[in-house]
A and B are shown apart, each in its own frame.
Chain A
Amino acid sequence: MFSEADLAAIWLTLKLATTVTILLLIIGTPIAWWLARTGSWLKGPVGAVVALPLILPPTVLGFYLLLAMGPDGFIGQLTRQLGIGTLAFTFQGLVLASVFYSLPFVVQPIQNAMQALGERPLEVAATLRAGPVDRFFTVVVPMARPGFITASVLGFAHTVGEFGVVLMIGGNIPGETRVVSVQIYDHVEALEYAQAHVLAGSMMVFSFLMLLGLYGFQKKHFFAGIR
């Protein structure tokens, strides 16, 4: 059913989405925690920056990333000083771009879950002499677990569905930057509609099942305040 090139694209996409999801859970959790707890005036600006990819067209993000990753861009200068060359047209470059691109899909569900906890469980834990780190890992994380699961599913699915940014910074290299969405685009552009249907249809089924599973899960855990 799938050609070898299709399979390579699928494998690459899963690898990208997994890497990005893990990184986003690590990066997104402290951001979400801070956003959920802070009273600082910076909450608005930081929240807005995190949410930007929700409304920015991928062309804007892709364009600026291409310039920033170039030898004269600020990311490019940094990576060249670190001796890893420039990031455009590499898997690492796609990971970096996807982390930006999928950030709100991970931060917001976790933040919502943490806000829904309120002060009470933390105060109770504090009276039981739990330190801040202890409180975070033994109270906040388990109680916000549905938020983390929603975040993982959305972050993963959104990265799988990424197209415009990858097209603009990827360079369509088999096994390195040619993900499923780009492979589908190539099939369509080359008028290979039969092959396009196989991949595009699989993508529809996959995305539907991901969301169906997520909504089923959320219904069960509605009490945890995840919307």
Chain B
Amino acid sequence: MHLLNHLLVTALFSLLLFNHVRAEEVHAAVASNFTAPMKQIVEQFEQSSGHDVTLSFGSSGKIFAQIQNGAPFQVFLSADQQKPEALEKNGLTVPGSRFTYAVGSLALWSARSDFVDDDYTRLKQGEFNKLALANPKLAPYGAAAVEVLSALKLREATQPKWVMGENIAQTYQFVDSGNADLGLVALSQIMHNGKIKKGSGRIIPGELHNPIRQDAVLLSNAQDRKGAQALLAYLRSDKAHAIMRAFGYTTE
């Protein structure tokens, strides 16, 4: 009996030890627009895989510069394709690991209810104090927003009322706090379970701007890291795609 107990304890202990060796720390840098879905995805991923994920959020440009200067990230989820491509060219990624994890959408949004209708009436007639958008020079969602305004032939007319957020999260904040009546924000920021969760807004049809294809990449310091590889694989799973769609992204 004593021996059996001893064996059992040893077995349990080695099981724990085994698990402990297998579970890895994954450090992922994620573009601000993908903050909300990523938190949900990672929660599920951690439960099913046992890996621990640390998330850092920021503008893709800032993350890009940090990776180039040796930041210890293993996975990078960008808001565009250019930055992961550039890292690939500089030899900072694992070759062949880059893929489009989500395609983003824009929304015209106001924190006030019944302010935004389907015809962009307020925008066309200039009945708003400020229009918030992400800085087109820095943020893919900002560049897409300017394309939308050009397509609607409203670029010149609205430009004096533009206020620019450093990234899409700040743009959201400008509108959410009521300081800007209108904003072109990421659909994922205002959508929850397929519905716009606050204020009023409309989804911008995809044909008004170039698709916002968002690429993910495995960084070269994570070449042999099973946890980081598993996280990237999980982003392509049906479960992850379901979460992304609930936040208004399309998946491929």
| Residues on the B chain within 8 Å of A72, using CB | 178
Whether, in the assembled complex, A218 has its beta carbon less than 8 Å from a beta carbon of chain B, the answer is no
Whether, in the assembled complex, B165 has its beta carbon less than 8 Å from a beta carbon of chain A, the answer is yes
The reply to whether A71 and B170 contact each other, CB–CB distance below 8 Å, is no
The reply to whether A172 and B178 contact each other, CB–CB distance below 8 Å, is no
The reply to whether A173 and B164 contact each other, CB–CB distance below 8 Å, is yes
As a 0/1 sequence over residues 66 to 102 of chain A, the CB contacts with chain B under 8 angstroms (1 = contact) are 1101111000100000000110110000000000000
Stretch of A30-38, A43-51, A107-115, A181-189 with 4 or more beta carbons under 8 angstroms from chain B: A181-189
CA separation between A89 and B162, bound complex, in Å?
10
**B window 137-161: CB within 8 A of A:** 137-138
Query: Which of A86, A169, A189 has the most CB atoms of chain B within a 10 A radius of its CB?
Result: A189
Indicate the size class of the contact surface on chain B: 20 to 34
Whether, in the assembled complex, B132 has its beta carbon less than 8 Å from a beta carbon of chain A, the answer is yes
The reply to whether A67 and B165 contact each other, CB–CB distance below 8 Å, is no
The reply to whether A172 and B179 contact each other, CB–CB distance below 8 Å, is no
Q: Can you name the residue of chain A whose Cβ is closest to the Cβ of B62?
A: A189
CA separation between A185 and B177, bound complex, in Å?
24
As a 0/1 sequence over residues 147 to 186 of chain A, the CB contacts with chain B under 8 angstroms (1 = contact) are 0000000000000000000011101110000000000011
**B window 41-68: CB within 8 A of A:** 59, 61-62, 64-65
| Residues on the B chain within 8 Å of A185, using CB | 166
Q: Can you name the residue of chain A whose Cβ is closest to the Cβ of B179?
A: A88
| Residues on the A chain within 8 Å of B165, using CB | 171-172
CA separation between A86 and B137, bound complex, in Å?
27
Whether, in the assembled complex, B105 has its beta carbon less than 8 Å from a beta carbon of chain A, the answer is no
Chain A interface, number of residues (Cβ within 8 angstroms): 23
| Residues on the B chain within 8 Å of A171, using CB | 130, 132, 162-165, 174, 180
| Residues on the B chain within 8 Å of A71, using CB | 178-179
The reply to whether B163 and A89 contact each other, CB–CB distance below 8 Å, is yes
CA separation between A167 and B170, bound complex, in Å?
9
The reply to whether B132 and A186 contact each other, CB–CB distance below 8 Å, is no
The reply to whether A89 and B179 contact each other, CB–CB distance below 8 Å, is yes
How many inter-chain contacts with C-beta < 8 Å in the A-B complex?
64
Q: How far is the CB of A89 from chain B (nearest CB, A)?
A: 5
Whether, in the assembled complex, A133 has its beta carbon less than 8 Å from a beta carbon of chain B, the answer is no
Q: How far is the CB of A179 from chain B (nearest CB, A)?
A: 14
Whether, in the assembled complex, B135 has its beta carbon less than 8 Å from a beta carbon of chain A, the answer is yes
The reply to whether B138 and A70 contact each other, CB–CB distance below 8 Å, is no
| Residues on the A chain within 8 Å of B177, using CB | 66-67, 70, 88
The reply to whether A172 and B65 contact each other, CB–CB distance below 8 Å, is no
Whether, in the assembled complex, B129 has its beta carbon less than 8 Å from a beta carbon of chain A, the answer is yes
The reply to whether A173 and B166 contact each other, CB–CB distance below 8 Å, is no
Q: Can you name the residue of chain A whose Cβ is closest to the Cβ of B167?
A: A189
Whether, in the assembled complex, B173 has its beta carbon less than 8 Å from a beta carbon of chain A, the answer is yes
| Residues on the A chain within 8 Å of B64, using CB | 191
CA separation between A198 and B178, bound complex, in Å?
36
CA separation between A86 and B132, bound complex, in Å?
15
As a 0/1 sequence over residues 58 to 82 of chain B, the CB contacts with chain A under 8 angstroms (1 = contact) are 0101101100000000000000000
A171-B164, A172-B163, A189-B166 in contact; A89/B130 too (CB < 8 A)? Answer: yes
Q: How far is the CB of B233 from chain A (nearest CB, A)?
A: 31
**Contact among A86, A89, A173, A189 for B61, CB-based, below 8 A:** A189
Q: Can you name the residue of chain B whose Cβ is closest to the Cβ of A168?
A: B170
Given contacts A88-B180, A186-B135, A189-B61, 4 further A-B contacts (CB under 8 A): A66-B179, A76-B178, A171-B130, A191-B61
Residues of A whose CB lies within 8 Å of any CB of B are: 66-67, 69-72, 76, 85-86, 88-89, 167-169, 171-173, 185-186, 188-191
- Sample 19 A-B pairs with CB under 8 A, ordered by A number: A66-B174, A66-B179, A70-B177, A70-B178, A71-B178, A88-B180, A89-B130, A89-B180, A167-B170, A169-B179, A171-B132, A172-B163, A172-B165, A186-B135, A186-B137, A189-B61, A190-B61, A190-B137, A191-B61
